Structure 1
Amino acid sequence: MIFTTVGRRLLNYVLRRRRLLILTLLFSSITSLIGLFIPLVARDAINVMVSKSSENLLNYGLMIVFLSVVGGLLAFAQRYYSGLLSESVVFDLRNDLYSSLQNLSFGFYSRSDTGQIIARATSDVESVKRFISFAITGFTNAIITVVLALVIMMSIDLKLTLISLLPLPLMSILVRITAKRVRRLFEYARNIYGDFTSIIRESIIGIKVIKAFCGEEHFSKKFLEDIENYRDSLIKVGKHRALLWPTIGLISFISLLLIYWFGGILAMEKEITVGDLIAFSIYIGMITWPMVMLGFITVSYERAKVSASRVFEIMDMKSDIVEDPNAVDLVVKEGKIEFKDIWFSYDNRKWILKGINLTVNPGEKIVLVGPTGSGKTTLVQLLPRFFDPQRGVITIDGVDIRKVKLDSLRKNIGIVHQDIYLFPDTIRNNIAYGKPDATLAEIIEAAKIARIHDFISSLPKGYDTIIGERGITLSGGQRQRLAIARTLITNPKIIILDDSLSNIDADTEQAIYDALSKYFKGKTVIIISHRPSTLRLADRIVVLFDWKIVEEGTFDELMKGST
């Protein structure tokens, strides 16, 4: 069933490029046909030489040269269109895979290993490409060559054809057995490849932590174990191949031996000519190679099937967050947010939020506080529907957020995440990420509010300065201020700051809040923070503990209550 399903799906991708497929099959077929004529011309030339006549011998030689040149040109066209077809098919596959990855929810990425995802999007897709490039022309050449060569051989002598074919079924049995074993090894190797890809990624991203805790040896051992397993599995594949080819060569030699033995007898009895015998030996070689090619294709398919199934597994995944077919655009006029009896769990076993009821009034600034793991970040992630609660309803201006289009929902909410990610691009493009058509004046204004403009202006290339992956050329505070500017430029109605000023000194924090206080007018703001200076700026503080709201009020009210 897996074989049929994966094969059909790959075929559908190939059929999207029908024109290239037809051209590839056409040139492949003609190339095979020309190759089949050469032994016939060689037969006639040998018969002429055996008869000690030079009549038309030059013409036969020129004919062989001509067919070889034409065959070479057609083989070039075959390889060109075959490569173009495989690249086009894989282009479609990559595009669909990337679209699927973009449409999957946060839940998928929190459950999945990044290295495995990268391996499927790169190495597995390349494996499929190699199969398509090799299999279409190889299969076409093999079928045409085997069928027509057998027809020609039988027209020369049926009995000699049957005798020469006796050893060849062993080849098919051997290839089938090898393919099954190789498939299991390739499947194991692909999983290991994803594992050590993850280790490489973790080692690069977490290099500071690794070095700080002297963890190099630990990661090296893990990496060594994985690459040893990967190496061993591919060595076993190599052993199977090493056994396969000499055995196929032996079978081919036995078949050739039978031809010369029985064919020689027939030639001496004048039932066939010497040219027929030579042509026969060439054709049996032409049949043997396509059978080997079919074996190649079988093994290649087993490898591609494993890779394709891993790719399709991601493409078939459904997002945890589904947009209502009748969803409408969200229009935020006031910005009132209501969490009504919200219950949420990441694994459907342990509740992270329990019966949360919270109303944030239009234009209100609230701060969520509580111990680590109390559910603060989880609660704000429910608002843009990064996750959906198992129970309860969240509304904005009285509209259930599950009844509105995701794009319109998220465009009305600006979030500065706790874990800042900056793209390896210019500062200008990073700030304008949510609004690509933003003018430089708008970008500068957002940067000024976030108190990052002066620093940017001090750089030699200013806003055109390229920053490294994850913004590693910037300090933690600079990354946070850049992320704030990126959020502000979209001018959202609702703003979420998830511990976004933790790396900023008190003076800068106060300056940012002074600027933001004007910007925040008329906007609903939710802030996660524990800094006293931040708490004093809030209209209301909401305290979470044990995954519930246990207290709320102004800073002064809570301070009085604590005393």
Structure 2
Amino acid sequence: MHSFNMLWEVSLMDSGEPWERNIQTPHWLDELLTSLLPTNETIEAKLQCDLTLDGRYADAWVVITNKHLWSIAKDDSGEPQVLSIPLSDISDIIIEGFVGNGRLRVCANGRSIIAARFTQTYRPQFERLAGALRRLKEGDKVAISELTAPEPASQRRAFAMRRRGRCPRCGEPIHPRLDVCTNCLKRSRVFKRMLEFIKPYWHVAVASFVLMLLITALDTVQPLFAKLFLDRIIPNRDLKLLMIIVTVILLINIMNAVLSGVRGYIMAWLGERLVVDVRQRLYTHIHELSLAFFDRRDTGRIISRVTDDTHRLNDFLTQGLQDIVRDLLVSIAIGVILFVLHWKLALLTLIPVPILALSSVQFGKRVRRLFHRMWRRWAAVTSVLTDTIPGVRVVKAFAQEPREIRRFVDKIYDLFYASMQTARLWTLFFPSIGFVTTLGYLAVWGFGGYWVIKGSMSVGTMVAFLGYLWRFYAPVQNLARITHRLQHAATAAERIFEVLDTEPDMEIPPDAIELTDVKGHIVYDNVTFSYDGVNQALKGVSFEIQPGEMIGLVGPTGAGKSTLINLLCRFYDPDEGRILIDGHDLRKVRPESLRQHIGVVLQDTYLFNGTVAENISYGKPDASLEEIVAAARAANAHEFIIKMPDGYDTLVGERGSHLSGGEKQRIAIARALLRDPAILIFDEATSSVDTETEAKIREAIDRLIEGRTTIAIAHRFSTLRNAKRLIVLDKGELVEMGTPDELMAKDGLFAHLCKMQSELSKIWAW
């Protein structure tokens, strides 16, 4: 015990700086610590938690000094409650997790003492503390400096806020399936970013806009011919002027038709091009994200972003935006013409405009929320389809067609009800727009007719005014209704930007290196990892693999075996510790460079809907047929492939549905081998095949591992017969390591698993 305290003191002095978390401690705590601590006892760490020892929600503190662990909180009366445990008495420190909370338990002098309680928000810092104390107990003098290194305040706040499900900038709640705050996606910023998609094609957009102005101008002048017809041609019986006007009108409409056709084609090209660009950018960004992004989302919701939302955004960028500008310019231009024709009638015409503007703003506020709800329901429908169609065999095997039909029907009715809410709102709003503009029409008819009868306005002026009136109200109504299109597009844009603004969990430094000539020397150095930030899948795992060595990962389900593989492939980054390949920290290596030297064969083999040859050469698209065949031979796959009607050109079906499990597995081995990787990974490669197929796969594996660093996960220990060492994991911790004989002699977890498997084998043999 005394040596543990000595290690603690030495490590704190050697680390250069104490564990500083820059926490703003309350004044009463500072005064209390000043009175409690003698002059030779210094504070090295302060950890805040949000539960007292009796489970009340309140600020509480764990203070680490060079002598003691202090737990401090106030009781109901406001009096400080203090628990002090000498570090020299502590033999172990344990983090216990419960539903929504956890506690810090220490073993001291044979007693179990609860030192702190906390919600899951604060659990990571106590996990770090526990890890530091365990490593100190084992003699690691640098544990504190490595495990409790200070973090920037902004990062700590962002981490804490995200763990609470709130935005680190504004503090508003973030949806569990999102990584960005929709509250911080300002509407003006959203529209500005929408326009950025058009920038590369601004000249095309300008050409289309100019054509639109010409078409609109040609249409705008036509009511003036009615005034000319009634006020000059009819009274003067001027046939020559009549023929001129008819010819001009004919030419205007021919030109209008030609320009409309040209503009239609340009807009079609621009629209499709924008869809291609947005989808390409979105899809590219999705592939830059780590697996954590996909862990939090349904496939259908991601597909909905790439397909539906991009289409809705395209409609606004190509049509809606120019329609807004056109309607605005037309309403202003015609408004001027109306005032020139008769300013009194023009004033009456403007009466409905303020009413339309106010109602449009109120409508926009309500419809935005409804659009979000409607498209979430649509994404849920897509999710059901992407879930059940690939799993149709399971559905039919369990005769669950009625259940899945009901599930789908429930989702489409949810969508129906959400859509009807939106429809109900605009069926009330749109007719009201028409009614308000009708009041303007009635005012013009009433007062205009009166002035014509009184002789203060000509019939031609009245007819021209009425001709322009509907051309004025039409764009005004469109501008009032444009809220619908704006919200439609803005909602789609927000959903797209939610994905585009999601930052990759893995940071790739600018000076990241390219791996070349990989030997396969692998080091796991105190690796700790959690998928959800709360429950640790790995806890301080450390081991080393020599180049060309085969090791086996053994342990019960959920022990952390696959997590070790995921981290080695850098699908995720460790929360603590590091992984080295040939002395290079994986965080400083370009992921694509790393994965070029790793061949992976997973338990659930995924084949793409293509030919056998295309699937084998997936990791090396430029491979020759000779290379593909050689890889298939090495994987014991060539024999069954050439027996197929089309050989290597045989279509495997969606997810390899035309092949058996063993055939898919051997194609996966050939796919991994074709790249000639320095490191091979087999994750339960023989778990779902028969004995004969397992023998063929084992034979292929035996050939493949020669000269390669190999990591194999298997519950069938016969698959690991060539492994030089076995690493046994349990609940995220490395509990045993050694040769099979050494582990059997220990009579630990591995021996227990072997005995269970042996008993099971006897039952099957019987």
Which TM-score tier does this pair reach, normalised by the shorter chain? over 0.9
Q: Which moved more, 1:518-527 or 1:102-111?
A: 518-527
2:200 maps to what in 1? 16
Q: Which amino acid aligns with 1:3?
A: R
2:370 maps to what in 1? 185
Q: Which amino acid aligns with 2:243?
A: L
1:39 maps to what in 2? 223
1:391 maps to what in 2? 576
**Structure 1: gaps of 5 or more residues:** none
1:221 maps to what in 2? 406
- The change in CA–CA distance for 1:355 and 1:332 in structure 2 (over 3 A counts) is farther
Q: Deviations over 1:207-226 (max 9, x none)?
A: 23333344444433332222
**Does the CA contact (< 8 Å) of 1:543 and 1:552 recur in 2?**
yes
**Does the CA contact (< 8 Å) of 2:538 and 2:733 recur in 1?**
yes
Q: Which moved more, 1:232-241 or 1:11-20?
A: 232-241
2:268 paired with 1:62: no
Q: Deviations over 1:320-363 (max 9, x none)?
A: 11112211111244211111111111111111111111111111
Separation in 2 of the partners of 1:78 and 1:46? Answer: 34
Separation in 2 of the partners of 1:68 and 1:202? Answer: 53
Q: 1:152 aligns with which of 302, 326, 337?
A: 337
Separation in 1 of the partners of 2:722 and 2:315? Answer: 60
Specify the structure having the higher radius of gyration (Cα): 2
State the SS of the aligned residue for 1:293.
helix
State the SS of the aligned residue for 2:710.
strand
Q: 2:542 aligns with which of 329, 333, 357?
A: 357
State the SS of the aligned residue for 2:197.
helix
Equivalent runs, 1:294-305 vs 2, <5 Å: 294-305=479-490
**Does the CA contact (< 8 Å) of 2:686 and 2:697 recur in 1?**
no
1:503 maps to what in 2? 688
**Does the CA contact (< 8 Å) of 1:17 and 1:88 recur in 2?**
no
Equivalent runs, 1:54-133 vs 2, <5 Å: 54-55=238-239, 56-133=241-318
Q: Which moved more, 1:245-254 or 1:536-545?
A: 245-254
Higher RCO (CA-CA < 8 Å; seq separation 6+): 1
Equivalent runs, 1:511-526 vs 2, <5 Å: 511-526=696-711
**Does the CA contact (< 8 Å) of 1:82 and 1:137 recur in 2?**
no
- The change in CA–CA distance for 1:85 and 1:296 in structure 2 (over 3 A counts) is farther
Separation in 2 of the partners of 1:4 and 1:493? Answer: 51
Give the structure-1-normalised TM-score: 0.96
State the SS of the aligned residue for 1:85.
helix
Q: Which amino acid aligns with 1:11?
A: L
Give the structure-2-normalised TM-score: 0.71
- Per-residue deviation, 1:307: 1.0
State the SS of the aligned residue for 1:344.
strand
Counting matched residue pairs gives: 563
Q: 1:259 aligns with which of 431, 444, 449?
A: 444
Q: 1:4 aligns with which of 188, 196, 204?
A: 188
Q: Deviations over 1:420-452 (max 9, x none)?
A: 111101111110010011010110111111111
2:621 maps to what in 1? 436
**Does the CA contact (< 8 Å) of 1:156 and 1:272 recur in 2?**
no
- The change in CA–CA distance for 1:136 and 1:554 in structure 2 (over 3 A counts) is same
Q: Which amino acid aligns with 1:438?
A: A
2:713 paired with 1:533: no
- Per-residue deviation, 1:2: 2.1
2:493 maps to what in 1? 308
- Per-residue deviation, 1:309: 0.2
**Does the CA contact (< 8 Å) of 1:449 and 1:512 recur in 2?**
no
Q: Which amino acid aligns with 1:41?
A: F
Q: Deviations over 1:458-492 (max 9, x none)?
A: 11111111121111111111111111111100000
2:516 paired with 1:331: yes
- Per-residue deviation, 1:131: 1.7
- Per-residue deviation, 1:129: 1.4
Q: Which amino acid aligns with 2:273?
A: S
2:21 maps to what in 1? none
Q: Which moved more, 1:436-445 or 1:320-329?
A: 320-329
- Per-residue deviation, 1:157: 1.4
**Structure 2: gaps of 5 or more residues:** 1-184, 752-766
**Does the CA contact (< 8 Å) of 2:603 and 2:684 recur in 1?**
yes
**Does the CA contact (< 8 Å) of 2:525 and 2:541 recur in 1?**
yes
Separation in 2 of the partners of 1:164 and 1:348? Answer: 63
Q: Which moved more, 1:444-453 or 1:126-135?
A: 126-135
Q: 2:430 aligns with which of 222, 238, 245?
A: 245
Q: Deviations over 1:236-260 (max 9, x none)?
A: 2222332233323323332222222
State the SS of the aligned residue for 1:312.
helix
1:463 maps to what in 2? 648
1:418 maps to what in 2? 603
Separation in 1 of the partners of 2:694 and 2:435? Answer: 80
Q: Which amino acid aligns with 2:530?
A: S
State the SS of the aligned residue for 1:537.
coil
Separation in 1 of the partners of 2:428 and 2:575? Answer: 57
- Across the aligned residues of Structure 1 and Structure 2, the Cα RMSD in angstroms comes to 1.8
Q: Which amino acid aligns with 2:199?
A: L
